[in-house]
Amino acid sequence: MIEGIAVNYYERIQKSIDFMEDNLENDIKVEAIAKEAFISASSFYRIFFSITGYQAKEYLINRRISRASKDLKEEQSKVME
């Protein structure tokens, strides 16, 4: 892959990750995330995995679980006070 193209994909995947982070509480589809990154859905699946090592849906689920866990811990500390 040409270096400039690779950098462009990294930027697009970062944009998609930012979009996911901003929408963890929303019901978003991988196709919408791919559209946000200006990549076809089929290419997005492949490129996202090659850059992150995760399937996009798996990444999204893990981030939601992590956020929920953090929120629960914060709520518990507030209750304990």
Q: Which domains does the chain have, with CATH numbers?
A: 3-80 (1.10.10.60)
pLDDT per residue rounded down to tens, the chain (81 residues): 445 557 799 999 999 999 999 999 999 999 999 999 999 999 999 999 999 999 999 999 999 999 999 988 887 656 554
The pTM is what? 0.79
Beta-strand runs (E) in the chain: none
Q: Residue 28 and residue 57: Cα distance in Å, rounded?
A: 10
Cα 43 versus chain centre, distance: 15
Q: Residue 53 and residue 20: Cα distance in Å, rounded?
A: 16
